[in-house]
Structure formats: structure tokens, C-alpha cells
Structure 1
Amino acid sequence: MTAPGGDSRSAQFPPAAGPPTGGPPSATPPSEASRLLDTVLAEAARRRRADLQARLARERGRLETSTCLVAVVGEFKKGKGTLINALLDMRVCGTDPVATTLVPTLVRYAPRATATLQRAAPASDASADSAVPPSTHPTDEPVTITALHEVTQAAAAEGRGASITTVTGAEIGIPRRLLESGLLLLDTPGLNGGLADGRATATLRAAAGADAVVFVSDASQELTAPELELLRRLVRLCPAVVLALAKVDVYPHWRRIRDTNLAHLRRSRLELPIFPLAAPLRHHALRAGRSDLDGESGYPALAAILRDDIVGGRRARLEKIAAEAAADALGQMLAELETERAALADPAAARELRARLEEAEQRAKGMTEAAATWRQALGDRSQDMTARLRDDLDNRLRNLESAVAGRIETSEPARDWDDLRGWLYRQTNDALLTHRMMIRSEAEALVTVVTREFEADSGRVRALLDAATERPLGTLAEGQDPEFQQVGGVDLLAQGARGGGIGLMIVSVGGTVATLAGFATASVLLAPVGIGVLVVLGRRTIASIRENEVRVHRANALKTAREYLAETRRVAAQDSATAREQIYRNLRDTLTEQAAELSTSAQRNKEASARSIKATWESRRARLAAVEAEVARLRSLVGTAGAAGTGVAP
């Protein structure tokens, strides 16, 4: 086949360094940021700064356990599982031609192959956070990968069978080098109609918590309107999105489809790289050891962007944060030494210096108290944020409920329910997505205002808060379809005849009365009238039955829609409240820790100044020389931290 890797967009990425292979993890040399953290940790321990040690140890742990989640998203039967299998050269995801994946499946690195099913927790402690299965959970159930496929997949016609009702997710661990760097791949359930699919909520939730999204379409046709709409939303939710064009080995016209998709993306103002992929060619190339064929499959280019740009980019951001933390800790320890040096070098000014240090200590202690300005700003702004977010969610769902009622009132649910349901899911997902964007906006405003009051660098705090703000959306179950029972044609005619029988009864009564009155001819004259009345009343009875039937159907549809929206309100309100609380706590804890460190530094600076005042002339000279040597050494470390990406000048 012609090489799909010849696409100009995929060619701009370097090829992967060989196929993913099994085996134990290779020894990865520590990064410059890790070595810097170790050095500053030892320095903090030597100077007995337990507070700095605790923060630096946390940053060290974040570097050692850093992971990068990539959600694989797409419409039903587009090849998401096939893509993951080909990328890792192992059948980790089910790819049955009929069955489809029903729950999210997380693939991570493990020294040996493992598989775990995650069952729903009891109702008393069930969690809404189930789009990305955690690595440990009270209801985790170890299984084989084959058994996992049997449970998590079912034919589309079967829907959510009994075997899947309690399964909320699955996790697979395999020994692959591509995953060893911390890459996590999440295979999401396929959609049917983009945002109009009830499962789109879980997909958006997974994307909101992911570092990147691989959107899978295939070369059978150009991107559909629902796919483009979903892509636009994913770009708003996730920092990185790439488009995979699968099955180019099956469709010879894949280049035309690729070019058409590029045109659609340009019109939608989406600049996304496209990767044409051929899974069978990938597997054949790896078995035959043909790197040239592997390059033509398109998978090395995709692996390279995942490994270097996405995983590497996230690690680079974490290393920058770690280097900034190391530089900040060094700055505090350096300030203590410079304070002592100033007091030793100029004893006459030492007492004035000590007075300033005492004032600084009092101000620093004030920042740790409840009456601190930044704490008041945090409390006031958090309350305002909570009120605005509650009102926003209530208004959106209330307006949606009114719109649903109006739409149902002017429709025939038995005939239009599929369209109504798709419209309801689309509007619900749109409302929740817009609310999530508002949460993010409010969180950024809160961080900016509070950190300004704290007089700290807001950029570093924002980076620390990043994981809590993309809290995914809560999981919403698809609404249950109402049952529309329609009166059949035979039953309808029978009921119409019964209604028309009233007219015949009127004729019979009229004929009897006329006969008793001696007017025999009146019965003959009334007979045609009775037949006409029978037809008219029968027709009206049929119309009345139809009206009652439509009324009942509308009531059932409205009841079903309201139940779905009530569940939406419950889950979304809980998710929003959890996100607000996590934002508040992380911001409060981060700034409290910084205030405590500042207070400790101020106290130690004052104590160093006091020791200098009491020192004799001889001991002062010896100590001054030692302190100057320490200052020079720490300044060189600060310079190293600046070179690691912090921009801190020595």
C-alpha cells in the first residue's frame, strides 16, 4: 500500500526510537531538576529546615510518580481499541467486529501483565469519580485480560447487559517501553452522534482530566458534523488534541478524506495534526523487523508526539515547578546567611537590623493568622464564587427543563423520541461543559486576586492548582426511554364503534318513543340521522383516543426527561461543589505553607542577628569568613536553579 506516513503533518514529528518492547523498566538517569532537588533537600536537612524539607520531598515525589493521561476518543466502531493495540503491539483492548466497549479502560505500565475490573461501590459510599479507574479500590477485581474483554464488551443490540451493570471501569497493566515514562492510555466507550449520545458526558469528563486527547476517525468518510462539534468542545477542554485517521489500509481514497478533513478543521479554526494510521501494516512490520514499513504505518510518528511532546512536555512543566521550589528554598536559606553576614560585618548596625527583623517576624506571623488579609480575601471571594456557580448551574438546568417541556408539548414523543433524546443529551452536555468552563474561569480569578493579596507569584500557585480545576464531570447514566403504548388499528376501530354506538342508541330510543306515541313513520325518518350520528361520534371518539394517547406519551416523555435532568442536577451540583472545595483547600493550604515558611525564615533571621550581636570580635571574624563561603556556595546553587528553567538570577 502507499505510505500513509507521507503526510506532511505527521512527517514533521521525529520517528519513534524503535517499537515498544516488554521487559523490566530500564534505569533512567535522574534529571537535572531531580538532582537539584536532592541537593537542596540535603542543604535544608543540614540547616534543620523541616518545613522546606517537607515541600521539597513532595516535589521530588511528584517527579518520580508523574503520569500523563491521554484519552482515546471517537465515534462508535472507528478503531480506538485497534489504535491502542497497534501502538503498544499487544492486544490490550477488545476489537470485536460486533461488540463495543461499554466502560472506560485504562492502560498503564506494569512489570508484568495484569488486568483489574472495577465494580461499583455500595450506594452508601459510591463515588462519582469513575471515568478514570484508580489503581487501587476496595472493589477492584483481578481478572485475566481475556476475561476483562468478555465483561467490558457487549454487542450494541444487547446494550448494558447484566454482566456490566456493576462494572464502572477497567485497568490493564503491561510491560511496554512507551508506557514506562508515565504515559496512561484511556480507551473510552464509543459514541453515536457526538454530544447527542448520553455517554458523551463521560467522554467529556475523561477529556477534562486528561493531558491530551487522541480523536479517532477513519478513512471511510470525512468528519461528520457531530464529530466536528465534539472536536471543538474537546479543544476547549484539553490542552492538546490530535486527530488519528484510522484504516487507511482499507480505503484507497484516504488522501482525499484527509485533505477534506483538513479543510473542515481550517473552517472550524482548529489547527490539529492528522496522523494516517494502518494497524495491520504496523503489526506486520514489527513481526518482520521492517522499520521502513513501520514508518509507513504512521504509528511511530504518533508514538513520538505522545512520548516527546505530550509526556515530555508535562514532565518539563513539573521539572520547572520543582526547580522553582528548589530556588525558593535556596533563597530563604541564603537570606538567613546574608542577614547573619550583615550583622557580623557591621556590629553597629546590628541592633537596627534586629529591630527590622522583629517587625518582619511579626508581619510574617500575621500572615499565618485567620485575620490575615489574604485569608479574608480568600473567604470572601470563595463565597462569591460559590454563589455565582450555584446560580449559573441552577439557571442553566432550569432553562433546559423549560425548553424540554416546551419541545415535548409540540411533538409526538412516540414518533419523535429519538430526536428528542438526542437533543436533550446535546443540550445537557452543552450546559455542563459551559458550567465547567465557568468553574475554571472563576478559579483562575480567585487565584489571581488572593495571590495578589498574598504578594506571591501567582503563576507557580496556578501550576500547583492545575489538577483540581479539571476535575472531570460527574458520571451521568443515560436516561431510560419511556414506554409509548399506542392503540392498534383494530382496537381503535372497536373503540370508535363503541363511541358510535351511542348514536345508534339515540336512534333506538328515539324510535321507541315515536312508536309509543303512535308515530310509526318517525322511526323510519330518524334511522338515517342515527347512522350519521354514529359516524360523527365514532370519528370524534377515535380523535379523542388519539389525543389522550399523545397526552399520555407527552406526560411519560416529560417525566423521563425530568428524571434525567434531576439526576443531572444532583451529579453536577455535587461535582461543582467538590471542585469548589478542592480549589479553596488547595489555595488555602499552598498559601498557608508559604506563610509558615516565611514566618520561620523571619524568625531564624532574627535569631542569627541576635547571635551575631553577642559574638566576640575573634569569633565574629571566624564566623564571617565561614558565612561568606556558605553564601558563595548557595549563590552558585541558585544559579544552577536558574539554569534549570526558573530564571532566578544569582
Structure 2
Amino acid sequence: MSTVIEVIGTAITAAEAYHRDDLAARLRQSRARALSPEVRVLVAGGFKQGKSRLVNALVGASACPVADDTTPPRTTVVRYAGTPGPAPAARPADTVEIGLPSGILRGLTLVDSPVLEPADAILIVSDASGPCTQAELDMIDQARALAPIVVCVLSKVDLYPGWRDVAESTEAATGLPVVPVSSELRWHAMTTADTALNDESGFPALIAVLRAELDAERVTRRVAAHEVLAATGDLTATMTAEVAALRAADAEQRGIRWQQVLNDGISDLIADIDHDLRDRLRDVLKVAEAELDAVDPAKVGDDFAEWLRGKEAQCTAETFEWMVTRARWLAGHVAEQFGDDHALPEIRRPGELAVGDFEPAAGEKFGVGQRLIVGMRGGYGGTLMIGMASTIVGVAMINPLSIGAGLLLGGKTVQEERKRLLQRRQAESKAALRKHVDDVIFQAGKQSRDMLREIQRTLRDHFVAHAEDVHRALVDAAAERKTRIRDLNAELARVRDLERVARELVA
């Protein structure tokens, strides 16, 4: 017993030395249980699985209230006492302690609790209605971390004829001993003093398991070993991870990595910005051509040029804004390669794009004199044709009909000439528009590439300086890392010695 207490005390000292107050508190609870003459057995399980009836049937008294939908959950502690009754000791409001003169309770304390908590042993109660649910399997895994001894109790076997199959599947799924019991048969056997019925209830087998597994000295050793091994495993994992992290520090690889990320990012960004700019301006070109097809460029030249200037400015501004956003993201991505937090360089917004104004084609003029000449040329042919036809029927060549035909054809000729000149102006304006948009794409692309190269130089200079600072810091810390690794290895050796002693307790 003194060896057990000494091992737990050493583990507490180690946990406190490594600033693991959580482990130290749990180990103190383990030491208190080791010093106690009682073995603490927690009875746990899901709602309506029969754990309270199991405790009552085990001690032969109605110690634990059977919960229903309206009964608030509470913890009932049942321990041995010469006379039955509630324990006088102070306790939490949701905990009831009861003393009973039951032989099974000599050296044993049963705890009927709605939640799992550390104990010397845990009985997981599940009824025989079907195989263990995932929630019950998770509860069993949690119980294994809280107690060195875990036993599955299959309740209500009197209600389910297929309980044997359920018991086999439970044992296969959990790898734990499964004890089938019936609390109802146990109560009836105690009432009628029927020994055969008591054997059929399964409780003698459960009591035998408890007596075999819960020898006081054996339990103390197993509990101590369980808690110490849990603490040493946690400490070993923490220190091993720290040693691995210290050995993995490599400033040169980190320096190469950030340069690759920066160069690749700028190359991708140049291609993306160029594509985005062309795509936006081509959309503007399609809309502008459709507008020119519907108007006379000579009449709306100034308004159209102002509208086009605004659309081009909007497109280039949106592209440049996206470029700055992407560049800032790239700066943050490069900074992540260093694995530390430091201020990033400021990325300037590019200035406005300076592009010449668009001038629609004016085309040749079609004034009054030109219209008169074109009209006369068209009207002369019409007058001559109708006049010659009139002479056949004996009418003079110049007559109202020939004059009217001449006027009609002259007007039509003027309209056709006006339409031809409009289409020519539109075609010339669209050709000028395409050349203008190409110039805008060229100038904006040149400006964006220059800006991105400036961003690349800014980021490169910043991170080169930061990499030098990091390298100097790593060089300065190299000796400290080696010392820390040596100290950690020494501490790991001490923890593993403690782990070996804990395993010897069980052996």
C-alpha cells in the first residue's frame, strides 16, 4: 500500500512540475480513493435501462428511486451501515447518501449516477431489448478512461427471450464481460426465499464477478496504475510532440517555400488580371457597337464618347480593385509560410488609367448643295424615262406626270444616299471604336503589369528582411532548442520510469 501511495505521489509531483493542474487534481482523487477502505463502484447507463432497480435488487432494499419522466436525475450513494437510513454527512443537493446493513456492501460503495465520473469500477447497464447503441458504445469508451474495471450488465432478460444473442453481440462489440440479470426475478426470489429462482436471476453470478474483481488490495493497485498510466501517457504525448516540433524547425526550407509561393502567385495574378480586363472591355465593346448601329455617330459623338469614357473607367477601376484585393490575399498567404504573426506591407492602389478620348468618324458632309445635285441627278433620269414614254401616246415629254416622276425618283435617290453615308459613318466609327478599345486594353494591361511587378518587389523586399530576422532568431535560439530537447528527453525518461513502475503494480 505504501508503494501505491508513493507512486501516485510521484505522479502528482510530475503533473505539478509540468503545470498540469488537471492531471494533479485527478491523481489526488485517486490517492484519496486508495487511502479509503471502500471500493467505489459506479452504476451507469441510459434512461430506463434498469440501473436503479439493479442497485435495489443487489442490496435487497429500495435504496434508489426508480426514475420516470418527471423525476429529476440525482446521484444516490449506497454504502454499508449498521442501521438503515440516510447518511448524516454533508453532501450536494442533487446527491443522496444511504446506509444499509447489507452484506454485499461491506467494503463496497455503490453509486447510482446519471453521469459518468471516476471510480474504482463501473457497471454499464443496458437492457436486453437489442444490441448496444452507438451512444452506449461511446459511454463504454468513456468509462474505460475513468475506471480500470468496466463490466457490462444486461438487464431485463426476463422480458426478452432473445437475450442470449444480445449478450453475445454485446460481448463481441465491447470485448468486456457481460453479465445477464433480471431484477424482477431477484426481488421475487428474495421475497419467496427461492434459491433456484435467485440463481436464475443472474445476481449470484454478478456478485461473484464483483467479489473476484473488487478485492480491495487488487483494486487499489489497478486504480493507481490506471490513473498513473493515464497521466504519464498524457505527459509523454505532450513532451514527444514538443520534441518533434523542435526538431522539425528548418529555416532554409521555410525561406525557399515563401519565395516559390510569391513568384507563383504573381504569375497567376498577372494572367488573371489581364484576362479579367479583356473580358470586361470586350463586353463594353459589344454594347457600344450595338449603340452605334442604332444612332448617327455624327449627331451623338460627344455624348457617346462621354458614355464610353465612363464605362472604360468603371471597368478598369473594378479590375484594379480586384487586383489590389488579390495582392493583399497573396501577401497574407506568403506570410503564412513563416508560421508567425507580423505586420504586412501596405499595397498602394493604382492611379486612374489615362486613355485618349474616342472620336467617332464624322464621314463626308451631305449639305444642301450635295442633296440638290444628287436629287437632280436622280430626278433627271425619272423625268426623261417617263417623258419619252409619254411621247408615244402623243403627249409632250415635259408634262405633269414626268415632272412628278422626276421629283419622286430624285427624293428616293437623296434618301438612299443619306442611308449609305450613315452606314459608312457607322462602319468607320465601329472600326475606330475597336482600335480605341484595343488601345485601352494595351495601356491598362501595361499599367496593371507594372503595378504587379512593383507589388512583387515590395513583397519580396519585405519578406527578405523578415526572413533574415527569422533566420537570426532561429540561429540565436538553436542552443536553447538543443538544451530544451535534452531536458525533454531526460524528463521523458523519468516519466517512462514512472510508467514502468505503474505497470509493475498490476503485474
Length-normalised TM-score, structure 1: 0.34
Q: Name the structure, 1 or 2, with higher relative contact order (CA <8 Å, separation 6+).
A: 1
Q: Which has the larger radius of gyration?
A: 2
